[in-house]
Chain A
Amino acid sequence: MDDFSFSRRNMLGALGAGLLLPETALAAPRPRIGGRIRVASLSSSTADTLDPAKGALSTDYVRHYMFYNGLTQLDRNLVPRPALAERIESKDQQNWHVRLRRGVTFHDGATLSAKDVAWSLQRHKDPATGSKMATIAEQFAEVKATGPLDLTIRLTGPNADLPTILAQSHFLILRAGTKDFHSANGTGPYRCAQFRPGVRTLAQRNPNYWRNGRPYLEEIELIGIPDEVSRVNALLSGDVHLIIAVNPRSTKRIRASRRHALLESKSGLYTNLIMRQDGAPTNNPHFVAAMKYLLDRPLIKRALYRDYATIANDHPIPPFHPYYRADLPQTSLDLDKAKWHLQRAGLRGVRLPVYASPAADGSVDMASIMQEYGSRVGLNLAVNRVPGDGYWSTHWMKHPLTFGNTNPRPTADLIFSLFYKSDADWNESGWKNPQFDRLLVEARGEADQARRKQLYGEMQGLVHDRCGVAIPVFISLIDGYDRRLKGLQSMSTGGLMGYQFAENVWWEG
């Protein structure tokens, strides 16, 4: 992890190897061109979009990575690698210079220029765009094309993570002035042959793709099958060749098939218990500590997720992350300590409602487990199971005890800024820690990796000790695939290879 920084030197070195596959995979039989596959993702509705800024669900991300490219692309170690940018560099982490790859063309034949990039990045700041990344794009103080292939990005403050942020699907590059999203005009590995919201997306190989030899597949048909059992059935019956989001309970069925296999991606996805810090009794530090001791993490991992999970330590950085702090003591189930803390909080025998919902994956079962252990230490948790529909707008963070569910974010800065900073909109527990906020800003502008890791480590300690969230496990993402599909690898940023399988897989059938 020494060369985690995105300096000019290792940037140049990475030029040739701008692929997601590690060297070992390249020694395997050469990928062949051709083949059609059908891929089923989680959901598909009239809200499907070809506008990367509006992408909301896995189906959207997959679709966008098929048709568009970003300036950068994350590799399996979450290190940003060049994509449309040949170089992206900065001395002060605030003023960035981007040099674009030469000779990249859009599907309509136009050549990619710095103007397209500047337009694509700036549109996120326009409220009319409705961008999901509007708050993050606020830090783009100025994006200016300085030449046909050169542009400068001036940020409102230093941020060493810019190359990682730009790899997100929302920041994929469009042709300047694009308004019509009935079809896609990108630089990506596939062209859009058909897009029917809620029905299907048909992608055909782009023979002029700038990455030599890629992509391999002739055609990809992307559909959504919201019902998990139907999705697994479709895979097992051979109607689709790749599916996302397999329930741990269905893994047995797929393992039993000789024609199919599972791909587990360890991820930073978690479901957490939120204890609001703006009112009694949940703001009592003893209560918070007691709840953390009440979590039977191995049981949750085993019973809820059939071991497709990683035990977490009440902070949002998963063990495989480069900034993970390994020396924090692991909180585990301890009824005596929980009882002692409850007594100190004066909450024995009190009845507390906790809101759980299918919208926050696994929360209903987690709440039941906590209720069971709580009854042994004199805590009376009343589990209110509420429907998933409308959960986020009506219940999440609105009661003293609720559950949240947070998707993996590509950088530690994003997850901390979005969910733990004192003034963040989704500061779930509503905790206020000035020291944490200071560390966050300092780490963001810090270019030295060792120092950064130390700063993020301190922040993990603060969240672990004081924040009103309890994170029992990180949930693994499980995909199912037909064994004739080759080249799939796990990516911690999301299922289906971080939604980017399309340009990496090939078919041997």
Chain B
Amino acid sequence: MAGASSSSGAKAAFSLIGKRLASSLLTLFLVSLVVFAIAQLLPGDAAQEALGQSATAEQVAALRHEMGLDRPAHERYANWLTGMVSGDPGQSLVANLPVSEVISSRLPNSLLLAALSALVAVPVALLIGIASAMNRGGKLDRALNISTLSMVAVPEFLVATLAVLIFSVKLRWLPSIAMVSDDMSWGDYLRGAAMPILCLSIVVIAQMARMTRAAVIDQMDRPYVEMAVLKGVAPVRVVLRHIMPNAVAPIVNAMALSLSYLLGGAIIVETIFNYPGLASLMVNAVTSRDMPLLQACAMIFCAAYLILMLIADVTAILANPRLRAQ
């Protein structure tokens, strides 16, 4: 019985993954089309931005020709698309390097920062959410509520700036900029990345904790929980064994949203701490109108988001016996 349901669950999950992957490809295609179209609306192009204020018409025309910007837009898009399908994201117009090379120097930094922030944020958020749900209406719940609400309300640039003023300028405990280099040790990296991780975590902890609390409380009012409590099951066991499997779907959903933010939404934190990540690379690409680089960054963020959403949905299916059976 259990074996049959889990194998049908796996089948359902696989067919869902297959369908999702297909629709993800379509989404990626549409996103690339939209990003390309919007970028065409921006004033100026890569040649003008590269030459800047001091550009003459002939210089711009020459550079445009060299960059291939004198060809019609649809032709450039088709060119980029065929390159992308065959696995080549093209050449960065500004850096004169393959896009893959430019991105490969930044993507690991972003992934590492996001992973470490998630490592800090997820357990803390779960702990806060569950603790405040279990103490619903109590002093602890109210205290945690106020603190998470104010964490949501305080913008991250304020958190980051205050953290720099306190920990770097006044106390001189931590560096104010997060330097990343090939030859640095893990200790150095963690010291430099401590404040970026802290700031990113604060933002997502608050959101995830509130979602966790809501999901757990939603389950607490159900009859099966009442039954378990009446049978004398310990509160911690009720939450972990009975409630969590049912609350996991909305929680994972909220976490997927927050984690996708850690990758792409880190731009403010990257700017303040001068962290060489992917988000600032994308902003660079926009201001310099470096289309191939911009497209590649957009694809990565979009793909990361889609993957996280897929994971959330699959988790929801596997966690819910009714969905599993369908």
Is B276 in contact with chain A by the CB < 8 A criterion? yes
Contact across chains for A237 and B172 when beta carbons are under 8 A apart: yes
* Inter-chain contact A134/B284, CB cutoff 8 Å: no
The answer to whether B59 and A134 have CB atoms under 8 Å apart is yes
Answer whether residue A425 sits at the interface, using C-beta atoms and an 8 A cutoff: yes
Q: Is the CB of A223 within 8 A of B50?
A: no
Contact present for A390 and B176 (CB under 8 Å): no
Given contacts A132-B54, A196-B105, A199-B276, contact A46 B293 (CB under 8 A): yes
Q: Give the distance in Å from the alpha carbon of A44 to the alpha carbon of B279 in the complex.
A: 14
Chain B CB count within 10 A is highest, among A46, A227, A390, A426, for: A46
Taking the complex as formed, is B23 at the interface, i.e. its CB lies under 8 A from any CB of chain A?
Answer: no
Spot the interface stretch: B219-227, B256-264, B267-275, B300-308: B267-275
Tell me the chain B residues, 258-300 only, with Cβ under 8 Å from chain A.
271-274, 276, 281, 284-288, 290, 293
Cα(A437)–Cα(B95), bound, Å = 39
What residues of chain A lie closer than 8 Å to B13, measured between beta carbons?
Answer: none
Q: Taking the nearest CB of chain B, how far is it from the CB of A39, in angstroms?
A: 12
Q: In whole Å, how far is B288's beta carbon from the nearest beta carbon of chain A? A: 6
A425 touching B56, Cβ below 8 Å: yes
Q: Check: A393 CB closer than 8 A to any chain B CB.
A: yes
Contact B57 A234, beta carbon cutoff 8 Å: no
Give CA–CA (A358, B44) in the complex, Å. 17
CB–CB A239/B177 < 8 A: yes
- A45, A200, A405, most chain B CB atoms within 10 A: A45
Would B95 and A197 count as touching, CB distance under 8 A?
yes
Partner of B56, one of A45, A135, A224: A135
Q: How far is the CB of A47 from chain B (nearest CB, A)?
A: 5
Q: Which residues of B contact A165 (CB under 8 A)?
A: none
Interface hit among B112-120, B143-151, B161-169: B161-169
By a CB distance below 8 angstroms, the chain A residues around B168 are 233, 236-237, 239
Q: How far is the CA of A199 from the CA of B270 in the complex (A)?
A: 12
The answer to whether the Cβ of B152 comes within 8 Å of any Cβ in the partner chain is no
Q: For the complex, what is the distance from the CA of A20 to the CA of B189, rounded to whole Å? A: 39
A40–B51 CA distance with the chains assembled, in angstroms: 23
Q: Do residues A237 and B175 form an inter-chain contact, with CB atoms below 8 A?
A: yes
Given the known inter-chain contacts A234-B176, A239-B176, A390-B44, please indicate yes or no for A46 contacting B95, CB distance below 8 A.
yes
With A199-B105, A200-B181, A393-B48 known to touch, is A225 a contact of B290 (CB < 8 Å)? no
Count of interface residues, chain B, beta-carbon cutoff 8 Å: 49
* A199 vs B164: C-alpha distance when bound (angstroms): 21
- Please state if A198 and B281 are interface contacts (CB–CB under 8 Å): yes
Q: Which of A289-348 contact B (CB under 8 A)?
A: none
Q: Mark contacts of A127-160 with chain B using CB atoms, 8 A cut-off: 1 yes-contact digit, 0 otherwise.
A: 1101010110000000000000000000000000
| Highest count of chain A CB atoms <10 Å: which of B43, B62, B105, B274 | B274
Measured CB to CB, the nearest residue on chain B to A224 is B274
Residue B310 at the A interface, CB < 8 A? no
Beta-carbon contacts under 8 Å, A381-417 to B: 389-390, 392-394, 396, 405
A234 vs B285: C-alpha distance when bound (angstroms):
25
Residues in A neighbouring B181, C-beta threshold 8 A: 199-200
| Given A225-B274, A392-B53, A425-B57, A46 contacting B177 (CB threshold 8 A) | no
Contacts of B92 in A (CB 8 A): 46
For A224, A229, A405, the residue with the greatest tally of chain B CB atoms inside 10 Å of its CB is: A229
Which residues from B are CB-within-8-Å of A199? 105, 180-181, 276
Residue of A128, A197, A224 touching B66 (CB-CB under 8 A): A128
Give Cα distance in the complex from A198 to B50, angstroms.
Answer: 15
CA A390 – CA B287 in complex, angstroms?
8
Which residues of chain B have C-beta atoms less than 8 A from A393's C-beta? 43-44, 48-49, 55
A385 to chain B, nearest CB (A): 15
Contacts of B79-121 to chain A: CB distance below 8 A:
92, 94-95, 97, 102, 105
Q: Does B22 contact A (CB under 8 A)?
A: no
Given the complex, which residues of B lie within 8 Å of A238, measured CB to CB?
172
Chain B residues with CB below 8 A from A223, complex form: 177, 179, 274
Beta-carbon nearest neighbor of A404 in chain B: B53
Chain A residues positioned under 8 Å from B102 (CB to CB): 46
Assembled-state Cα–Cα distance A426/B285 (Å): 27
Residue contact A46 to B94, C-beta cutoff 8 Å? yes
CB closest chain-A residue, reference B94: A47
For the complex, is A213 an interface residue (Cβ under 8 Å from B)? no
Contacts A200-B181, A237-B164 given; indicate if A230 touches B274 (C-beta within 8 A): yes
A46-B94, A199-B276, A237-B172 known; A394-B177 Cβ under 8 A: no
- The yes or no answer to A22 lying at the interface (CB within 8 A) is no
Interface string of B223-252 (1 = CB under 8 A from A): 000000000000000000000000000000
Binary B-proximity of A105-132 (CB < 8 A = 1, otherwise 0): 0000000000000000000000110101
- Chain A residues with CB under 8 Å of B4's CB are none
A35 within 8 A of B: no
- Cα(A425)–Cα(B57), bound, Å: 8
Could you show 24 A-B contacts with beta carbons less than 8 Å apart? A46-B94, A46-B97, A46-B284, A46-B285, A47-B95, A47-B288, A130-B62, A135-B56, A198-B276, A225-B274, A227-B271, A230-B164, A230-B271, A233-B165, A234-B177, A236-B168, A236-B169, A239-B168, A239-B177, A390-B42, A392-B44, A393-B44, A394-B44, A396-B53
**15 extra interface residue pairs, beta carbon distance < 8 Å, beyond A46-B290, A234-B176:** A46-B102, A46-B288, A46-B293, A47-B284, A196-B105, A198-B276, A225-B274, A227-B271, A227-B272, A230-B273, A236-B168, A389-B287, A390-B42, A393-B55, A425-B56
